[in-house]
Structure 1
Amino acid sequence: MQNTISDRIADFLKKYPPFSYLPMEELQTFTPEITIVYKEKNTIVFKRNSAPHLFFYVVHKGAIGLIRQEDGIVLDICDEGDIFGLRPLMANENYRLEAKAQEESILYAIPITLFKPIVKEYVEIGNFLVESFASNTRNPYSNTHKGQLLGDTAQFNPNNSGSRLLDVQQVEYSSKIISCKPSTRIQTLAKKMSKKNIGAILIEKEGLPFGIITDKDFRNKVVTGIVPITAKAKAIMSSPVITYPSNLTITQAQMAMMKSGISHLVLTEDGTPNTNAIGILSKHDVMLSLGNNPAVLVKATKRCTQVDELKAIRKGVMNLLKGYLEQNIPMSLTSKIISELNDACAKQVIRLSLKQMDTPPPVEFAWLAMGSQGRSEQLLHTDQDNALVFATVTENNLEETRTYFLRLAKLITNGLHEIGYAYCPADMMASNPKWCLSVDEFKETTTKWITNPGPDEVLLSSIFFDYNLAYGSKELTDELASHIFKTVESYPIFLTHLASGALQNPSPSGFFRKFLVEQDGLHKDFFDLKRRALMPLIDAARVLILSHHIKGINNTWQRYEKLALLEPNNAELYLACSYSSKALLKFRTRQGLLHNDSGRFISLEQLNKEERMKLKRTFSSVKDIQEVLSVRFMTAIVR
């Protein structure tokens, strides 16, 4: 007799990760052992420091709050489909928080003894639990799981990234398979290959790959007269066919071809000849894939003689980015590689622009990338923020010098726009005279921002402090950086204003962890990922690293990692913020690639449960770091 309650539980769990990764028949093996728990509003599920139960919980209906007992603050609320109370069972430790029903709730209690073997058997479930870490802890970023979360789940050695990128970069192949039977006459298949302009044809038997014939087989066996053209395909085919799975990397493809002395590989559903063929990979395909390798792209960039030639390079960079995200390459490495490729494109635009000028630059200059590009966090085609600083000249030569560099800056910003970087809506670009200054003028400007910090000055300085040298004189940028840090040290109240500005961005979530969306305008009912989640983390990292007088670290997650070393007592929070900034950037990049936009505004209706869950897991870091800023810099005094 069918157990209808058990089936209903299985149907419910199948809708939510990580149970969605399980086949239904696997789910149905343990759902009869699941207990249904009813909790009235304000009743306790478990208390802090109590021994873990023999099961963890999934919310079927209602909401369960995870509460810090010291101050009664609700740190998280689990709603339909959320898991809680699992970590203590996996880590053999007591509960760290109290779980309390925020409203009338129905829970599924799942025995841990049944679940542990499943975690070991199904890799996807283990990865999900590490990434989302649906637990009863304040944040999932302890040292135990460092480097194994959403932002950095793959194990990768960045020190050897140049040679190892081919180990993870997948090769592109042709999915249009032309095939024939072993009994097909050679003359017939030769005409077919010629008509389709292909260099290999697959021989299939009962729908499965049986052999392969290439141009080489015609040269060596037919043209030489060894086999007549009237013979059948099986007379010249290579069999058994060598097969591989479709997720083959460039290195694996090269090694496979060298090992077997062949020029074509057949790709099948499971990598064996026992499943359908889904593609054929040739040496030519491998060479084309090598063209999207970072080292090759950098060389191609330097060979460009016209700005419009860089468009194809930029397309290759985007293809590379998509591949890295699909393979879950660590965000820190992905960002570093893509940023270096973007910088290479920008440098070439500057070189080509300089060639268009009638004369060489009158004095040394530096092109500063600011904002997300300055932080090495600009992965998508967003707008440009830049500035140009030139060496100090006499008063008589100042305007003539500025005119030269403004003309150069106009060429550069136009070139960047041509290859995909939109003009800055606020005109924060070097082609604007306000952002094309001598080093002494920039010193004077930044001094005014720091010593008289109004809202506009705080905004401008926050953007400017993330600058990075993209081209030109390092001495000029070092001189300017030294001046800024000395001035900030002399006027510490500026940090309070900067911290206050960092707290202006609204919280990402409201009551019951609901996403706070835009209430009006073009993006009404969309979630602003940049303003509500990313910017609070970026702004907080900036002011905290400035307070420690640390130079040369502009990247947000690197700032937090440095802060974790400087303040061991807050290391867990800073590492949580480091992870969150990478996870949010990855999420924004994926959304941007999916919808062909900046990824800033997200339609929540298009997110699945897993995506919503992972996104919400980063929000506690935003709240916690803003509390640190508020207390440390006493921001109430400037409000």
Structure 2
Amino acid sequence: MNIIAQQIAEFLKNYAPFNQLTSEQLAEVASNVRVVSLEKKQTLFKINDTLHDSFYVVASGVVNISVIADAEESIISKLHEGTIFGLRPFFAKNNYKMTAKAREESLVYAIPIAVFKPLLANNSEVLNFLLENFASNLPDDRSSQGNLVSDGLFYTEKQSEAQFFQTLAYNTTPLLATSDNTAQEVAQLMAESLKNNVIIFERNGPIGIVTHADLASKIATGRFPINTPVSNIMSSPVVTVLENVSLAEAQLLMLKNNVTHLCVTIDGTDKSTIKGVISEHDLIAAQASNPGVLIKEIKRSLSSKELKEIRTRLTNLIQSSIQKNIPLTHITNIASEINFAILKRAVELSILDLGSPPARFAWLSIGSQGRKEQLLLTDQDSILVFEDVAQDKYIEVKDYFLKLGKKTTATLEKIGYELCPYGHMGSNMMWCKSLTDWIKQYNNWMNATRENTDNLSSIFFDYELVTGEQKIETAINNIVFENASNNTLFFDFLGNDALRNNAPLSFFKKFLVEEEGIHKDKFDIKTKALMPLIDSARLFTLSYEIKGINNTYTRFKQLAIADPKHAEIYLSCAEAYLFLTKIRTLEGLKNENSGQYINLEELSKIDREKLKNALIPMKELEELIKDKFQLTQFS
């Protein structure tokens, strides 16, 4: 080994997972390392680049890892000396999902995957480390309490996360056959044992696998006769794994190889004794509240009772995720996808009952659902828009969609989403109408004087398509932003709406709590803290013509880009919104209600201080609204 390779080996052995290698293995790796010199701001690879043949270790300097989120490039990690990155070529076939760029002059070691991969066969600790690191795409810092970000496969909190890195339970008595067996014999074996796969072996090692899918696509279709040797229809080679395979590893390997089964062998290769078989069902059983599984179940649900049971499981998922300190933005994303799947299925069940719609339509969620911020079971808000039809058909068409609205909102009420007390639902004839009528409605709202805005609620400007025609939502979106442009009266209304609530803190920085009623001495976190932030984010987003973003946190992040002069205020508000939402959600989960009223005495001293600090940016935000929109009312 030459002197440079020696220096590289000395460096690598100080860091995981290289410290798990033998001296000989480390020498082999070091001898094949390529040293890459990066100038400041030089890119090593970027999003959508073709995958390299190496993964990387930072030797000196700092490398930034960034992603594009909501049209914004966000740095998710700063990688320092000894950190491995760029593992996508190991585990996935598609292009890079992140960008790696030198923050300063840096050296990185490029380790060829072809050299390193063979070392993993008998070293499960190294393989699990790499899988774990790939899943998180952040450095291995076991003392860190930071949160990890996924690389587009699944999310996890941190490396010790048991839910994802537990050892899997799997079938340890797999069905076996040889390549001489016929397809018919294998099919009979599966039928008799009620199993859906057979491992084909030779000299104790697996050479292929036959599943029900193979029989369906190759035998039932007539492509092969039923007495064909099983070697003609088996999938080969079979993907093999070690006995102590983890959930994360199994999930990634199935994704990487586009397979539904893995064969477990003693040493993880196809040259050793077969110990069992892992199926997709085993992964599902290991993660009962996996979001993907919940959404699949929602799509198959046929009643409000089934959907209610899934919504209960979502509540449990939200609670456990918060307890594990998974980022709230991630929890909200997952929860909103599941909520929307439930809403969509409720509409679909109504259509199954009523028959096909007589016209194209869009069911839009508004309010917290439209902002994708509904972590708790609060009330439902929606509007129904159907395409323009001939005048003589209008009453008949509207009648169908009113029935659709009533049936759907009744189903959602049974699931646990209470009816909106203000009637803001597609079942209300005021909020179920044609596209032209909705365009007139928005025109009237946005161009009316303040005296004529009785029916106007700001939640009508937070809308998201649940199901139906995207073009209809786009048409609503276009009319809103056309009317918003330079519309002083409209922004005067929205601005004062955002300022209407009393300050959350007194002059002496004391919480202003309820003075009477059943919530006496409690803090109204919704009205006094969250709504001013929600209303302000909406106001500025419409003002800066930022389209397609409804979520309050994301709106503030986008505003920091649109108005860099006040970026600090927006970013402070974004973080404040997250913390306030977390406090409200915990309160709601604990008391099985909306979490609107917080008992401050039950908060720890630290959380009370954090809550107070989260409210401080609101004063600056209020001043910014008054200044930008020339408002003096309610000041």
User: For 1:560-588, what per-residue CA distance to the aligned partner results, in whole angstroms no more than 9, with x for missing partners?
Assistant: 11110111111111100111111111111
Match of 1:301 among 298, 302, 309: 298
**Does the CA-based 8 Å contact 1:166-1:293 persist in structure 2?**
no
Q: Secondary structure at the match of 2:618?
A: helix
Residue 504 of structure 2 is matched in structure 1 by 508
Residue of 366, 369, 383 corresponding to 2:362? 366
Q: Tell me what 1:84 maps to.
A: none
Tell me, yes or no, if structure 1 residue 430 matches structure 2 residue 426. Answer: yes
User: Take 2:356 and 2:526, find their aligned partners in 1: how far apart are those partners?
Assistant: 40
* Match of residue 196 from structure 2: none
1:471 aligned counterpart, secondary structure: strand
Asked whether the equivalents of residues 153 and 329 of structure 1 are also in contact (C-alpha less than 8 Å), the reply is no
In the TM superposition, structure 1's runs of 4+ consecutive aligned residues that sit over 3 Å from their partners are: 163-173, 248-255, 257-262, 283-289
Distance 2:395 2:442 in 1: 20
1:480 aligns with 2:472: no
* Map of 1:594 onto structure 2: 590
What residue ranges of structure 1 are gaps of 5+ in the alignment?
1-151, 174-243, 263-282
CA distance in 2, matches of 1:546, 1:370: 16
Residue 152 of structure 2 aligns to a residue in which SS? helix
| Structure 1 residues 553 and 286: CA distance shift in structure 2, 3 A | closer
Q: Residues 166 and 250 of structure 1 are in contact (CA less than 8 Å); yes or no, is this contact kept in structure 2?
A: no
Distance between the aligned counterparts of 1:566 and 1:515, measured in 2?
33
2:366/2:381 contact within 8 Å kept:
yes
Structure 2 letter corresponding to 1:367: W
Give the aligned partner of residue 331 of structure 1. Answer: 328
Contact 2:364–2:465 (Cα < 8 Å) also in 1: yes
1:284, CA displacement in angstroms? 11
Specify the SS of the correspondent of 2:632: helix
Q: Secondary structure of 1:618's match?
A: helix
* 3-state SS of paired residue (1:162): coil
Distance 1:172 1:560, change over 3 A: closer
Report the equivalent of 1:394. Answer: 390
Could you tell me which runs of 5 or more consecutive residues in structure 2 were left unpaired when the two chains were aligned: 1-143, 166-243, 253-261, 268-279
In structure 2, what is the equivalent of residue 532 of structure 1? 528
- Shift of the 303–397 alpha-carbon distance from structure 1 to 2, 3 Å rule, reads same
Corresponding residue of 1:495: 491
Quote the Cα distance in structure 2 between the aligned partners of 1:254 and 1:395: 55
CA distance in 1, matches of 2:281, 2:463: 42
- 2:155 maps to 1:155: no
Which structure is richer in relative contact order (CA contacts within 8 A, separation 6 or more)?
Answer: 1
Aligned residues of 1:446 and 1:461 also touching (Cα < 8 A):
no
TM-score (norm 2): 0.58
User: CA contact under 8 A between 2:147 and 2:157: conserved in structure 1?
Assistant: no
Task: Give the distance between the partners of 1:260 and 1:607, measured in 2 at CA.
Answer: 51
Match of 1:570 among 566, 571, 579: 566
Deviations 1:485-541 (A, max 9, x none): 111215332112210111001111113211101122332221100000000000000
Instruction: Go from structure 1 to structure 2 and tell me whether the alpha carbon gap of 1:284 and 1:434 turns closer, same or farther (over 3 Å shift).
Output: closer
Whole-Å separation in 1 of the counterparts to 2:266 and 2:343: 42
Corresponding letter in the other structure for 1:524: K
- 1:321 corresponds in structure 2 to 318
Task: Please state whether the residue corresponding to 1:511 is helix, strand or coil.
Answer: coil
Q: TM-score, normalised by structure 1?
A: 0.57
1:351 aligned to 2:348?
Answer: yes
1:523 is aligned, of 519, 523, 526, to: 519
Matches of 2:611 and 2:265, distance apart in 1: 46
| Equivalence for 1:384 | 380
Is the contact between residue 428 and residue 435 of structure 1 (CA under 8 Å) also seen in structure 2? yes
AA paired with 2:447? T
Letter in 2 for 1:556: T
- Secondary structure of the residue aligned to 2:537 is helix
Partner Cα separation in structure 1 for residue 633 and residue 312 of structure 2: 49
**What count of residue pairs does the alignment treat as equivalent?**
394
2:630 to 625, 630, 634: 634
Aligned in 2, Cα 1:459/1:557: closer, same or farther, shift over 3 Å? farther
Question: What are the equivalent positions in structure 2 for 1:409-448 lying under 5 Å apart?
Answer: 409-448=405-444
Give distance in 2, aligned partners of 1:613 and 1:249.
40
RMSD, aligned CA: 3.2
Report percent identity of matched pairs: 38
Distance between the aligned counterparts of 1:557 and 1:329, measured in 2?
16
1:394 CA drift (Å): 2.6
- SS where residue 469 of structure 1 aligns? strand
Q: Please tell me whether the aligned partners of residues 168 and 327 of structure 1 are also in contact (alpha carbons under 8 angstroms).
A: no
Task: Write the distance in 1 (CA, Å) between the matches of 2:356 and 2:603.
Answer: 53
